[in-house]
Amino acid sequence: MFTRSLSPPADTSFFLFGPRGTGKTTWVEQHLAGAPFFDLLSSDTYLDLLSSPSRLEQRIPPGHKGWIVLDEIQKVPALLDEVHRLIQRKGFRFALTGSSARKLRSKGVNLLAGRALTLSMHPLTAAELGPSFDLKKSLQVGHLPMAQTARDMGSARAYLRSYVQTYLREEVQQEGLARNLASFSRFLEAASFSQASQLNMSAVASESGVDRKVVEDYFRILEDLLLAVRLPVFSRRAKRKIAAHPKFFFFDVGVFRAIRPLGPLDSPAEIDGPALETLLFQELRALNDTGQLGYSLHYWRTPTQLEVDFVLYGERGLRAFEVKRAARVRDEDLVGLRAFVADYPGTRAWLFYGGTRRYREGAVEVIPFGEGIRELGSML
């Protein structure tokens, strides 16, 4: 069992969003032990409250004054009107978890008019794993709790394959998000080749054998299910011409590997490089959200191929991170960071690499990847 860094608010209702398998239910049960718990993945509960949301109040024990949990609230968005009423009239506090933003973004859904905070649950961080953090393992199976606690690597990989198939079956097929499951499966594989890279919609459409407009819908499905993120380019007060297309990431390195096809024509660098970058990205997202640091996350790239993998911008300042898999840092590996620091003086910059020595190169701190991941919180 791992201790999560996220803590619930003391007396305010909240949404807790995160992909399936990140540990939302376990976290709620730990922090809100004894609260009435309504699992909307349970068919009986789902059908009862779907047919009549007002039955929620009838299901709450008489005289109850504490927290109430609605797990996977996106299954019955109409319940939010009832939740709103009960907050106003009864003073109840609700914990509302969700693994999809799709239905909650639809027109007319009541998001409680500011009466609930929004929290995010991500895969485990290196800090939460503590002594259990193993860089090699993390790069192979990612940081979903079930993957990390599996009895061996084979079991972890089997869990991740099942995880992907479960999403295809339960979220995509059952809810009719994609009419052709076979084409969506091909799209997933094609999208995995864009991991940690600039997104080219036309190329993905060609590789998956579907129209570009369909591919755009598929990417929105991934984002609505919280399974993927498009990382925008940083362009504030740009002194150079900047790339226009976002970079693409599946949310967890283990999920990425479970989707990415592997064959005799695939070199380790084609997968291991994006895996390193993905692990850093998911750590940055988790630390930023959990710590409520307020950064917006970006990358930076020019048409002349100057690039910085991650740029964080906020009241705390500018942070820039570059990832290199190689055990030795060449001078050309620092060009992007140096150019960015020159354009944005005062930026704190790091290069994480596959070596073992820690040192500085001007404004850039060069640090072994494993050390950098463990110390990331202090850098932000």
Statement: residue 94 has pLDDT above 60: yes
Is the pLDDT assigned to residue 110 strictly greater than 70? no
> Mean pLDDT across the stretch 256-277?
87
For residues 43-68, give the mean pLDDT: 93
Encoding tokens for residue 314? 């906020």
Residue among 284, 307, 20 nearest 147 (CA): 20
Distances (CA, A) of 219 to 174, 186, 197, 247, 248: 18, 13, 15, 12, 10
Tell me the one-letter amino acid at 111. L
Q: What is the pLDDT of residue 284?
A: 98
Digit-coded pLDDT (tens) for 349-362? 999 999 999 999 99
pLDDT tens for residues 275-315?
999 999 999 999 999 999 999 999 999 988 899 999 999 99
| Report for 105-114, 178-187, 351-360: range of highest mean pLDDT | 351-360
Q: What is the pLDDT of residue 105?
A: 67
Specify the pLDDT at position 267. 75
pLDDT greater than 50 at residue 107: no
**pTM of the prediction?**
0.93
pLDDT score of 177:
66
Sheet bearing 67-71, strands edge to edge = 37-39, 67-71, 93-98, 14-17, 117-120
169 confidence band (pLDDT: 50, 70, 90): confident
Q: Which two tokens stand for residue 41?
A: 């993945």
Residue in the structure block whose two tokens are 């072994």: 368
Question: CB of 117 within 8 A of CB of 9?
Answer: yes
Q: pLDDT at position 297, please?
A: 98
Burial class, 98, CB count within 10 angstroms (exposed 0-12 / middle 13-18 / buried 19+)? buried
Return the number of other C-beta atoms located less than 10 Å from residue 124's C-beta. Answer: 27
